[in-house]
Chains A and B, each alone.
Chain A
Amino acid sequence: MSETEVPPETRHSSYRPADRVRGPIVTHPFPLGPARPPAGPARTPAHSAQRCEGTGACALACPTQAIDVKGKGRGSSFRLDLGRCVFCRACVEVCPTGALQARPDFELAVTDLRDLIVMHGSPRGSVAPSVPERMRAETQERVRRLFGGSLALREVDAGSCNGCEVEVSALAWPNYDLERLGIHLVASPRHADGLLVTGPVTVNMRLALEKTFRATPEPKLVIAVGACGISGGPFRGSPEVLGGVASVLPVDVWVPGCPPRPEALLYGIWLALGRVEQRLRRGELPDGERTAPARKA
């Protein structure tokens, strides 16, 4: 458009870029500071063994078969897989005894899948032990040395419903601003230190995911995002999906959610970097203080 053809609405424009960039700071401090609690009804199911009477109503209501109740009455056993959970609250609503309650927790990312399993009343010894504390600490230390607290991630959608994409792209919005943490979503796997993978890994995306992984230079991390990325989520059981990122790649961190809120993703990325402690242990969350303290890079 030449100078003489300026559209009429431009001539008396009040547009000043500076007006638009000034304004209140909208960036939430988390994970450098405390998290804003999620608004609205809480959604993370928590189970109390004392109150459970083994009615099995939760298992029947769950749309992803995340719950398994064996036996009836007080002696029954209860198993909940947060890797399959889509945080729909259906189980909480049908539980007649109040044994299932919803909590607002979102820092649920883990480095060991077994930590996502809530298990009550099972015979001793039937639960595989999760990674020993000493090994966890050593791994975290190594990762910190390798990446120095900063990370370049390539996002790969391996067949998600795009709900997870909404939240991953939100990380770049001013509200979450992950670049302030030294974390970058980069355009090519060649520039990346790791992959952030969403979706249940469809048969049709398998090859592209494998190639993207191979194109990422060593050393590299893989973060599996969402119920889909962990277990296939709502699509588990379909012959057109492989049922989670681990069916193709070695996964370092698992971030539950459907989708995980942006803060949950930030927590997961920091967990991968060894900058926060994992809170969830064998399905149990510590009571009291909600946010894990950040560690220096």
Chain B
Amino acid sequence: MKEIPYEGDEASVAAVALPAIRPVPTAADEGKWARNLGLKDPTGEAARGPWTGEVPRGSWRSVALSLRPVLQHRLATLWGEDARDRVRVHALWLGGSGTRGVHLYASLPEGSLELPTLSPEVAPALYFEREVAEMFGVEFAGSPDTRPLLLHHRHRAPPMRGEGAAPEADRSRFDFAPVEGEGVYEIPVGPVHAGVIEPGHFRFQALGEQILDLEVRLGYTHKGTERLWQGRDPQKGVLLAESISGDHSVAGAVAYASAVEGALETPSLPAPVEAARGLLLETERIAFLLGDVSGIVLDVGYAAGAAQANVLRDRAYRLLESLTGSRLGRGTVRVGGLSRPLPTLVPGKIARELQELARGTEELLDHVQGVSSIMDRLRGTGTVPLAVADALGMVGPAARASGADRDVRRDRPYGAYRNEEVRVARQDAGDVEARLRVKVEEVREASRLAQAFLKRGALGGAVSVDGGVPSVSGERFGLGIVESPRGEFLFAVSIDHGSLQRVHVREPSFLNWPAIEYAVRENIVPDFPLCNKSLNLSYSGFDR
């Protein structure tokens, strides 16, 4: 029988009053858990990769559900793979700084493509499962939502199986969740919007000015990109990686290239090449985040501030252009290095420009926070509390504004970030103001990092690894994870005899989209654009 401490016993009172502190699981805990499950323990270069292993489909759910409380890993992505007579479903779980992550997969034989759903307990699993269901014909038993995600038309067969089927003429049915009650009305918006933005459909349920619910329907920009990669030469695949979401082309290219480099076991790149990639990534981040700053202040009607941010943004794009010839930095990153060395410009001049960009951005924030009519709109608007951000598995500045402490550059350092400490910006409020502050802070940090990479010889110098990209036989797998301006940008690539066999991409927006449905609740309709801009979600990144 359990002993009940009597009042007055100091020691036992203390023991009862103190909350149980759960230590953050370490790499050692992860290793123990993984070995227990019998997962492979790779050596050499691959040891940086995740613990990998097959799970019988009967224990797919129980393993996933035990993994979360023990390791506190989050579901980073889940994807399907066509293996002729079977479909493999992969799930990648990532944890905090220093852990390697866990990559589990289940094999489903033809004729019984069925797997138990994870979505009731693991919120981000829902979108992933809906995609795998429509693309591979896998049924997730017990799923609460079986509507299509990206496909708007019927296909005779699942498009990612075998030869793949094309869309047919008849559109498939899509029912929005209804909200009923006196005075409740519906506002349908899109896919063609009023501004210069990507297409998507928003279905608001409102009562007066207040939003009761929002449901987002995407898929309008679905281009079948993952299928286009299949069978291609890995080098030519870079263009598609840049075109997942053009506003962070460089991050896409670097994430893809590192996945392929990992799969091909390319020796590590020369330091100047890594520095050059770092410089491009951080310059792109500055330009991107300035766009968010501009969008936020524009949507509260402060046109002069938005113009100011855009002038800075153009300078950042101009800088990227002087480094690569493309304002978005496209066509420069290649598998195994760069297409050519960055031009030998005067490093001092570029450093000064980078400083100016950071200074200008901070000055703008300074002014903005002095205008109470602006701050009043930003404060407490579109709040996403940490618990929600964690439950949704959010990433990037949007997650950090809610207090989530996660940044790939620090947690799983790659390339030039292995030798550079990254100060991760964070706010707790989770509202539009917090997101604005995190973004401005990240511009400053990006400027500092870019200057550090300049010092490491990013300009001129080598282009690629000596001896080029090795051609390897057999089937290889590689992961590439990069902190893009939107957050964790992830590629999983399988290569078979030198050509791409399966490329899965998970753009950060895929995890962050559900946050907007949460953020707008109980906000007023005119604040929707603010929530939208501050989360800056990519439609093309989601739809591909």
Cβ-defined contact, B331 with A162, below 8 A: no
Cβ-defined contact, B305 with A14, below 8 A: no
A-contacting 9-mer, from B43-51, B111-119, B308-316, B395-403 = B308-316
Contact of B372 among A6, A63, A164, A187 (CB under 8 A): A6
Tell me the complex Cα distance, A237–B194, Å: 30
Cβ-defined contact, B340 with A166, below 8 A: no
Cβ-defined contact, A203 with B167, below 8 A: yes
Contact of B339 among A40, A89, A170 (CB under 8 A): A89
Binary flags per residue of B104-146, CB closer than 8 Å to A gives 1, else 0: 0000000000000000000000000000000000000000000
> Who on chain B is nearest to A203 by CB?
B167
Question: What are 11 A-B pairs with beta-carbon distances under 8 A?
Answer: A6-B372, A43-B326, A63-B236, A89-B325, A160-B246, A162-B246, A166-B247, A169-B195, A202-B220, A204-B220, A235-B224
Cβ-defined contact, A89 with B331, below 8 A: yes
Cβ-defined contact, B198 with A165, below 8 A: yes
**Is A41 an interface position by the 8 A CB rule?**
yes
Cβ-defined contact, B192 with A208, below 8 A: yes
Residues of A within 8 A of B328 (CB): 163, 166, 259
Residues of A within 8 A of B367 (CB): 13, 15, 20
Contact of A157 among B198, B243, B322, B326 (CB under 8 A): B198
Cβ-defined contact, B372 with A238, below 8 A: no
Q: Tell me whether chain A's interface is mostly helix, strand or loop, or mixed.
A: loop
Cβ-defined contact, A169 with B196, below 8 A: yes
Chain B, range 19-34, C-beta contacts under 8 Å to A: none
For the A-B complex, the count of residue pairs with Cβ-Cβ distances under 8 Å equals: 209
Chain B, range 168-198, C-beta contacts under 8 Å to A: 191-192, 194-198
Tell me the complex Cα distance, A89–B324, Å: 11
Residues of A within 8 A of B325 (CB): 38-43, 89, 102
**Is B356 an interface position by the 8 A CB rule?**
no
Tell me the complex Cα distance, A1–B538, Å: 33
Cβ-defined contact, A162 with B224, below 8 A: no
Contact of A39 among B222, B318, B371 (CB under 8 A): B318
Cβ-defined contact, A175 with B314, below 8 A: yes
> Who on chain A is nearest to B238 by CB?
A63
**Is B57 an interface position by the 8 A CB rule?**
no
B: which residues have CB within 8 A of A? 151-153, 159, 164-167, 191-192, 194-199, 219-225, 227-228, 236, 238-240, 242-247, 249, 291, 304-305, 307-308, 310-311, 313-314, 317-318, 321-328, 330-331, 339-340, 343, 367, 369-372, 375-376, 538-540, 543
**Is A251 an interface position by the 8 A CB rule?**
no
Cβ-defined contact, B331 with A39, below 8 A: no
Cβ-defined contact, A163 with B330, below 8 A: yes
> Who on chain B is nearest to A28 by CB?
B314
Cβ-defined contact, A43 with B221, below 8 A: no
Chain A, range 28-81, C-beta contacts under 8 Å to B: 38-43, 63-64
Cβ-defined contact, A161 with B310, below 8 A: no
Residues of B within 8 A of A163 (CB): 242-243, 246-247, 249, 328, 330
> Who on chain B is nearest to A26 by CB?
B311
Known pairs A170-B317, A204-B221 / 7 extra A-B pairs, C-beta < 8 Å: A9-B370, A93-B339, A159-B540, A175-B314, A234-B243, A238-B228, A239-B159
Cβ-defined contact, B220 with A86, below 8 A: no
Cβ-defined contact, A238 with B310, below 8 A: no
Cβ-defined contact, A166 with B370, below 8 A: no
A50 to chain B, nearest CB (A): 25
Residues of A within 8 A of B538 (CB): 162
**Is A261 an interface position by the 8 A CB rule?**
yes
Contact of B305 among A9, A20, A237 (CB under 8 A): A20
Contact of A202 among B222, B245, B369 (CB under 8 A): B222
B337 to chain A, nearest CB (A): 12
Tell me the complex Cα distance, A169–B291, Å: 10
Tell me the complex Cα distance, A247–B339, Å: 34
**Is A138 an interface position by the 8 A CB rule?**
no
**Is A105 an interface position by the 8 A CB rule?**
no
Cβ-defined contact, A14 with B244, below 8 A: no
Cβ-defined contact, B194 with A188, below 8 A: yes
Tell me the complex Cα distance, A240–B318, Å: 34
B97 to chain A, nearest CB (A): 31
**Is A266 an interface position by the 8 A CB rule?**
no
Residues of B within 8 A of A7 (CB): 369, 372, 375
**Is A194 an interface position by the 8 A CB rule?**
no
Tell me the complex Cα distance, A155–B193, Å: 9
Contact of A173 among B197, B304, B313 (CB under 8 A): B313
